[in-house]
Structure 1
């Protein structure tokens, strides 16, 4: 039986990297190609993947249509993990013209209905475009990334990425995910005919902020009870202004997620099942779940520095106001 040819765009990113590594570990099932910019082809992260068996295609998602189609000839599964603001439509159209059998768009977000989050609505629009093209697809939703749920240490600065605050009452459960687990689950999902033309929720478990913070206090020895409660988010008019200024866009994104996850309670297994998502845990019950305490130890041992450090300081320092 021939191997499934997988093509990843964004294979060295925070989401794409674990997926690429998990696929390479299944070399008896998959052949992996990755799209790499000319300026990045000699970077250590690329060498790590090529040493493990990945094939490099030098190019860019913004290349002309005919070049994109040439990259995708003979590909069975296209996985995109580019930033949500990057236009995926030319790549997806090229996949259609090249005869790709299944596409996984850059989704990997929490479960939520249309209108809950503006960034999520962009992803839902891409889903509609894929269906319009008649492409085979699998939409993969994930839980809240576990590392962003841990409270920052007192020594950290209060920012939108390391917020010393919490929304809601800390009792709302939410699905959570870790990067290595998502990689393993994606490797199973893309080879499974049951997931073709379906939306799948891939995750480790369900947990509340209160449970997470209690674990963090045990691991760090710090008491986070002085971190403040945010009950009210940005007024609607400021959200509109935020589309014009980077710092407000960041705040709007965080506000959207906070409302959806912890106020509305969108991202639960019950809601995912009600919306028709397949449960990856039921499909692949042999894939182990991450141990939350061990993940907490690794998180704080790493220095607990947020993944994105390229945002303007004014953006991330514009934190939410304390509840009255």
Structure 2
């Protein structure tokens, strides 16, 4: 589709954004086919000294200073010369100005920050915000690709007893624990994105990246095998308990309850549902990307449990 596309990433210092940026810069198919200076990352002035920024710069990324909340003229200046815009910025931020600027400059494809589980409208308010942004992008006439990834393998194992329980490190199970849910690793997301963003078949389509479907019981069994811990003392949250939390005024409590209810009670986040809704399946489009070994992913997790905001990118 593009001879030498210029890719712009907003959110490149986060978990998903940095994985995608490093994947594009690592010397794979995408990087080998491009001229230099083709991956641009948007970085706040206050974040320039972060190790991940230095790492991406050393790998060949070009830094443009700014933020998705900048004035329209500044957004347009930072998007100058860009072919593909990828945003991994959290969806509660107002991203409409960013995509309006992309529309004015004729960006050839945009990928907003979906990168989450599959669900219909009306189930999770965060997902509804993502769907609203999809509709806005379509209203602008912007060429797009929407990408879903299910849930993240690195937060699907039961947390060890030594980790203090919090909303970012839950220590409980949900419902019957036998509802399958799509999962993916950051490595697979990065590998597939390299192909998806330059593929004509994915233009104006929704694409699912996944590494498989697993139940909470399967993740618990594997977690106990790897860690040697017994998680039978962790409580099981009932659908009624989740429903009471789903109307909380605390957006974090509300959103987490809605996500759990959607994935583990309703069973929205499945490959069958994604296919029924017309999503393209990345593993059916592209060969050569191995499915990560789940046991190896578990060993990594229990060696250094992932906690949002505390673990290294």
TM-score range, shorter chain: over 0.9
Partner of 2:251: 249
Matched with 1:313 is none
Map Cα deviations across residues 247-297 of structure 1 (whole Å, 9 max, x no partner): x22111111011110100000000000001000010113111111100110
1:295 and 2:303 are equivalent in the alignment: no
1:89-104, aligned counterparts within 5 Å? Answer: 89-104=96-111
RMSD: 1.6
Contact 1:69 1:95 in 2 (8 A): yes
Shift in CA distance, 239/169, structure 1 to aligned 2, threshold 3 Å: closer
Q: Distance in 1 between matches of 2:217 and 2:253?
A: 23
Number of equivalences? 303
Aligned partner of 1:215 in structure 2 is 222
User: Does 2:178 correspond to 1:176?
Assistant: no
TM-score, normalising length: structure 2 = 0.93
Could you tell me how far apart the structure 1 residues matched to 2:18 and 2:243 are? Answer: 37
State the alpha-carbon separation in 2 of the partners of residues 67 and 256 from structure 1. Answer: 36
TM-score, structure 1 as length reference: 0.90
Aligned counterpart, 1:27: 31
- Mapped contact 1:239–1:249 kept (Cα < 8 A): no
Q: 1:63 aligns with which of 58, 63, 70?
A: 70
1:11 corresponds to: 12
Q: Give the conservation status (yes or no) of the 8 Å contact 1:70–1:98.
A: no
1:249-268 correspondence runs (5 A): 249-268=251-270
Query: d(CA) in 2 for partners of 1:233 and 1:250?
Result: 15
Q: CA deviation at 1:235?
A: 4.9
- Map 1:119-134 to 2 at 5 A: 119-134=126-141
1:190 corresponds to which residue? 197
Aligned match of 1:39: 46
Report if aligned partners of 2:20, 2:190 keep a CA contact under 8 Å in 1. yes
Matched residue SS, 1:130:
helix
Where in structure 1 are there 5+ consecutive unaligned residues?
243-247, 311-324
- Contact 1:5–1:75 under 8 Å retained in 2: yes
For structure 2, list consecutive stretches of 5 or more residues without a partner in the other structure: none
Query: In 2, Cα distance between the equivalents of 1:61 and 1:105?
Result: 12
1:28 Cα deviation after fit: 2.2
2:92 maps to what in 1? 85
* Alpha-carbon contact 2:148-2:206 (below 8 Å) kept: yes
Displacement after TM superposition at 1:308 (Å): 2.9
C-alpha displacement of 1:309:
5.3
Q: Which residue is equivalent to 1:281?
A: 283
Match of 1:321 in 2: none
- In 2, the alpha carbon distance for the partners of 1:55 and 1:154 equals 42
Distance 1:36 1:156 in 2: 32
1:191-242 superposed Cα distances (whole Å, 9 cap, x missing partner): 1110000000001111111111111111111111221111122455x64451
Contact 1:4 1:29 in 2 (8 A): no
Residues 1:235 and 1:266: Cα distance change in structure 2 (over 3 Å): closer
- Secondary structure at 1:112's aligned position in 2? coil
Q: Quick one: distance in 1 between partners of 2:160 and 2:54?
A: 35
